[in-house]
Structure 1
């Protein structure tokens, strides 16, 4: 019998249902994911809010915390939100409330806070029992019309109360204040923008619904962060981000050079990128200083009070301020990237990545819907009032009879309704009138109100019948709002500016991050590399592992690039600052770069961008390559000379002069003009000398005017002039003649 899904019984286990674990997990996880997406992490495109913010705003309205009223304790607001609308921890609600009040987090704060609400250094706000809050003007704009049936209400979590499912949102909050959140499987990140620019773009969109994102970007130039800063992206990438709804913006700190007198200067940073904690930024820079990663910088000080003022002191007055800042931008958060991912709840239901145009369009559609709903609500109010006024008019004209009926009849209401053909509402209104209202009950007053309301009713009916009039009204509303948040107002001024990132040579910036020190690079026969401090001329002091010995050593600076050429025809590049120190025996080259096991080091030298190199293989093929073409940016190196086994790369010499002398293992020498060797960036090269057997042994480039020189084993130098070399001078790829008398036994030029 197969295994039963039901556990062994202990009495009545009829109610146990077997459940497929995979299916159950999928269902539950999906439910959790959807709940996070819909009710926690993603903002609604219409009012730019997540549920917690919407509930805070709604609760503050109910507590009547208007901008012109007094403040209330935050603990009271949080209690109201938690008790009625938001069944989550009080700390998470308070954190959300604090953020709405921070002028360095929100471009247009929705909460006016009193007390300690944290600061840009990342310090926390005071506890909610100490702080107080009320709404700002922007918040009242978002709530405008909420009592006039502008939006749908839904039951709260315990169904005792009602909460708005979205706010009327007369302010373009989604883009003006931005939003960021991480849901399950999706995230959102929207930077803050300038409200006046958004409203201008919205007006353009009303006039021309077919306007492209490129047209809108004429107004909405880019994000406008509350902390200022400079955006250093080009217009094309900004446009691309707004068209697709995905991208990012590089934001740099704003700085200027401040003269200290006598030729000295400091750099003062006055604005830092959005979302960066100042104290953390300075801590990280100080750590880099201690680690000697910022050789151009002497000191960093925070002299901020109300405004930001971070002072950077250069190592010396000769430092280029641009380069110093570039090195800081590269290594610290003085430059940061703010991602754009406009993933929002479109129409309040569907998570969707929207373009700038779609986001504005959905906000405008919402404004139109709110306008229609408020107009209908007002229409209903007017109709009810007109009905009552008509009843009052009848009562006024027959006041004595009305009083008689009320005094004498047991049930005055049906009698009145029958007598003057009144509706239930009218009769009820007459019966509910106070005696003191009789004094005011003048026909003139009633008729005046009646006519006024009739006129308003006509206007609203015309508005509801005409889409053009609706858009005209919305344009008027947006125009009013733009005046209040225009660029000439204190809150409406653009804070973030735009600039091109200055062009600096990458190698200059790289060098600016390395402390310049003299070192000696040592390469052993078995391929171990290290760099000892100082320029050491006595090579006999170097120690090696057993069985290993010195291959060659040369002086360099820590800012240099070291080029390594291998028998496989590959070049590798290693920064001299990255080489292991001289304490031990160093490290094998194969750990530092990805070099094949069957290859060996031919030579290593300091990179000099102005030179050209002559590469030659064992079989005598070669070509000239500019040194800038052999620098490799990755561990894999760069294949420059193509060699097939058993051939291998044998020599790499700097090109000097106009002729080359080549010697084969057969001791035959050939001299030929360098002009016959082609210049290439990669390849096999051309034949330089012909051999019956064996291969190339040594090679030298020289200027014919100076003659060809070599050294023998006793370190004596021999030089042969052009006339003396006549019989060896030939064309490239000939066999050559036996070496001249006095040539070293080793067959090398020394």
Structure 2
């Protein structure tokens, strides 16, 4: 056989026959695990992917710390790629840039200088133009890395070593979250607030048997972790998604932009967006809103402007005149200003991908810190023991200084001197080496005292370190103390708020529940204003502008309500309409209001004269109505269940008559009717039998001359409230209701207040408590808020005191603010 002939038998022995599908499966698994472990998923201990860890370690090696000068990003990327991460420079720079973006990381790990991208999706400038250095909090991740706290492995070409994980004095995985797509799996962990995560870690250390619910709710209903805290702020809607994500490691939550509605000088509204959902591209979102406006899917928007700057996001959405801001806001929320964040808490645990719940995430970090602190303590103990050993040798030398000097002088060389010292004073090689290197100046008495003091300090340090290693409780105490120091150094306030979820987005959900004042004019202009805009004044004041009616118009009524109240609005024509308060546009004090036809389909000339809050109706109730000409009628509330947009008939009126007031009764109350000339009558409501909606009613009070009914009050026989009477000229008084004895229906009644030239006619009567407030509005639009206690309590048939000082003006309406709302606002 020729020497060039291959050894067929030997080559054949190296061939292994396998099924191709098995080889493909194993090769794919190897590739997948390489991507999972080596690139895409963070380690549960330090929360970093390999490229991030290598970048930070390379910067640590280069000395590019937070107190050093910035270094070109290309330099940092080159060092990382050449020494630790043999992949493309673009992927390394992308990771570096993301760690510098304050809109991507809740606590950025890189302090960047230059253009590192924006929330508009703009890419970072080329790496040759930007500079970077470690952020202070990133140095906490590398703290004590030189004290054998973590394991090191060889880099890709075995020239250097790199850490398998960083010591991580901060719980980075939960602080900054993580996102990544591997092969067949992905991770998406939201960022959190540092204070809350550290409190959770301390809680897990103190209460190892706690549950995930304990970390969320706690024993008092509020645990240390309230929820994710995104760097871009915004709002998380509802808690169910949070509970699911934290207890199972997977879940979804709705994130809503933060915005306000403002009134423009032109009278129309604008929506101001201050914060966008996390990882939302602002420019693309604005473009899509504009597309929907142009295509007619969203109506009522006249202009969109991006006024954002370095201080934050500000997107201005101007609405057309007459557009309902609530409707536009609802449309924007449904399509653009609310997104879903899917949580997948997938991280590497011992090199294997694992979905973790909230407690497991915290436990992995706590266990890592226990290992780091234990190894650091062992390292420090070894260093301290070595130092103590050296100091012991120095002390022996100082005790025998003359003999030591003599022995060294008599020795032929350094090795002989060391051998002589070891033999004569029982020293170790390390101790003798140190002594022969000592300078003569260190043999002074002062130096000896310093050595003794240092030896005592080192001895105490050894005792402390040994105590930590001997006690798991003390080791945990060190971890907690260091976590508290981190919290003290880097703590900040939450940026993301959590609002309750009431199901699908509705107009009511989008409007905060607050007490407001609703103003209606004779020409049917209506608006609402926050009650808090009107501070309580002492009686006798002029009040402040509450509305500026157009020329020839005047205020007809004003009343207090909550934005979420469901109201029945009765008009002087005897019609009743149904209204949600939030449907009334909110406007400034000087605004005229919007035409009522936008919220109520009123007939021409109708005025709202009475309002009943349907939220107060429980069980069998009646609506008692009084007309200008003295008629009274009761109708069961059930008759008003189905009210269409055009309203329904509440009472039939004679020609020249008008509905004046409506009160809610329960069948066992007394009715008090007051007239403009200051007369009152009180009778049992049963004297006015219940009738249908279209009935006229029965006579309630016998009016004298041209007198007319001013108002109606419902009270119980044992009621200890007062009857408040207010006149057109701004005077009024309080009188206990018990002073008004019960009579039969259709009598003349008793004198309540004197209606002379000073007082003018009565314009309103109300039942009030001591803690209630009053909203008094004049026909010209002045509004005054005061407390009931400011109005003197006097007897019947008196003149009263000035409540609101008027100048060629008259009181248009009076409404009572319940004590609870009066105190809260």
The answer to whether the superposition gives a TM-score over 0.5 is yes
The residue matched to 1:103 in structure 2 has which SS?
A: coil
Alignment length, in residue pairs?
Answer: 492
- Give distance in 2, aligned partners of 1:451 and 1:505: 69
Q: What is the deviation of 1:264?
A: 0.7
1:116 equivalent in alignment to 2:110: no
- Give distance in 1, aligned partners of 2:57 and 2:322: 58
1:153-164 map, 5 Å: 153-164=152-163
Q: What is the deviation of 1:508?
A: 12
What is the match of residue 350 of structure 1? 352
Q: For 1:360, which of 354, 359, 362 is the aligned residue? A: 362
The residue matched to 1:261 in structure 2 has which SS?
A: coil
- Give distance in 2, aligned partners of 1:339 and 1:505: 19
Q: For 2:342, which of 331, 339, 351 is the aligned residue? A: 339
The residue matched to 1:206 in structure 2 has which SS?
A: helix
Q: What is the deviation of 1:288?
A: 2.1
1:266 equivalent in alignment to 2:270: yes
The residue matched to 1:498 in structure 2 has which SS?
A: strand
What is the match of residue 257 of structure 2? 253
1:380 equivalent in alignment to 2:382: yes
The answer on whether the counterparts of 1:178 and 1:189 sit within 8 Å (CA) in structure 2 is yes
The answer on whether the counterparts of 2:188 and 2:346 sit within 8 Å (CA) in structure 1 is yes
- Does 62-71 or 138-147 show the bigger shift? 62-71
1:305 equivalent in alignment to 2:306: no
- Give distance in 2, aligned partners of 1:495 and 1:63: 34
What is the match of residue 243 of structure 2? 239
What is the match of residue 469 of structure 2? 464
Q: What is the deviation of 1:202?
A: 1.6
1:170-185 map, 5 Å: 170-185=169-184
Q: What is the deviation of 1:313?
A: 2.4
The answer on whether the counterparts of 2:330 and 2:507 sit within 8 Å (CA) in structure 1 is no
TM-score w.r.t. structure 1 length? 0.63
- Give distance in 1, aligned partners of 2:505 and 2:182: 41
What is the match of residue 143 of structure 1? 142
The answer on whether the counterparts of 2:101 and 2:108 sit within 8 Å (CA) in structure 1 is yes
- Does 14-23 or 365-374 show the bigger shift? 14-23
Q: What is the deviation of 1:406?
A: 3.7
The answer on whether the counterparts of 2:272 and 2:315 sit within 8 Å (CA) in structure 1 is yes
- Give distance in 1, aligned partners of 2:77 and 2:437: 41
What is the match of residue 493 of structure 1? 493
Q: What is the deviation of 1:28?
A: 1.4
Q: What is the deviation of 1:440?
A: 8.1
What is the match of residue 77 of structure 1? 76
- Give distance in 2, aligned partners of 1:433 and 1:59: 38
The answer on whether the counterparts of 1:396 and 1:441 sit within 8 Å (CA) in structure 2 is no
Q: What is the deviation of 1:391?
A: 1.3
- Give distance in 2, aligned partners of 1:504 and 1:159: 58
The answer on whether the counterparts of 1:229 and 1:272 sit within 8 Å (CA) in structure 2 is yes
The answer on whether the counterparts of 2:269 and 2:321 sit within 8 Å (CA) in structure 1 is no
Q: What is the deviation of 1:403?
A: 3.8
1:553-632 map, 5 Å: none
1:324 equivalent in alignment to 2:328: yes
1:418-567 map, 5 Å: 418-435=423-440, 437-438=442-443, 442-486=447-491, 492-501=492-501
Distance change >3 Å, CA 213–CA 502, structure 1 → 2: closer
Q: What is the deviation of 1:41?
A: 0.9
What is the match of residue 228 of structure 2? 223
The residue matched to 2:11 in structure 1 has which SS?
A: coil
1:687-726 map, 5 Å: none
- Give distance in 1, aligned partners of 2:120 and 2:507: 33
Q: What is the deviation of 1:400?
A: 4.0
- Give distance in 2, aligned partners of 1:11 and 1:464: 65
Q: For 1:282, which of 250, 273, 286 is the aligned residue? A: 286
Q: What is the deviation of 1:52?
A: 0.7
The answer on whether the counterparts of 2:330 and 2:505 sit within 8 Å (CA) in structure 1 is no
The residue matched to 2:264 in structure 1 has which SS?
A: strand
- Give distance in 2, aligned partners of 1:378 and 1:212: 35
What is the match of residue 212 of structure 1? 211
- Give distance in 1, aligned partners of 2:254 and 2:368: 32
Q: What is the deviation of 1:137?
A: 1.7
TM-score w.r.t. structure 2 length? 0.57
Distance change >3 Å, CA 439–CA 88, structure 1 → 2: farther
Q: What is the deviation of 1:502?
A: 6.6
The answer on whether the counterparts of 2:260 and 2:271 sit within 8 Å (CA) in structure 1 is yes
- Give distance in 1, aligned partners of 2:506 and 2:179: 33
Distance change >3 Å, CA 507–CA 362, structure 1 → 2: closer
Q: What is the deviation of 1:315?
A: 3.9
Distance change >3 Å, CA 69–CA 507, structure 1 → 2: closer
The answer on whether the counterparts of 1:176 and 1:192 sit within 8 Å (CA) in structure 2 is yes
Gaps of 5+ in 1: 1-8, 487-491, 510-750
1:314 equivalent in alignment to 2:323: no
- Give distance in 1, aligned partners of 2:270 and 2:340: 26
Q: What is the deviation of 1:308?
A: 1.0
The residue matched to 1:442 in structure 2 has which SS?
A: helix
CA RMSD of the aligned region, Å? 2.3
- Give distance in 1, aligned partners of 2:58 and 2:151: 16
- Give distance in 2, aligned partners of 1:115 and 1:304: 18
The C-alpha deviation readout for 1:636-670, integer Å capped at 9, x for no partner, is xxxxxxxxxxxxxxxxxxxxxxxxxxxxxxxxxxx
Q: What is the deviation of 1:236?
A: 3.0
Gaps of 5+ in 2: 217-222, 510-825
Distance change >3 Å, CA 440–CA 243, structure 1 → 2: farther
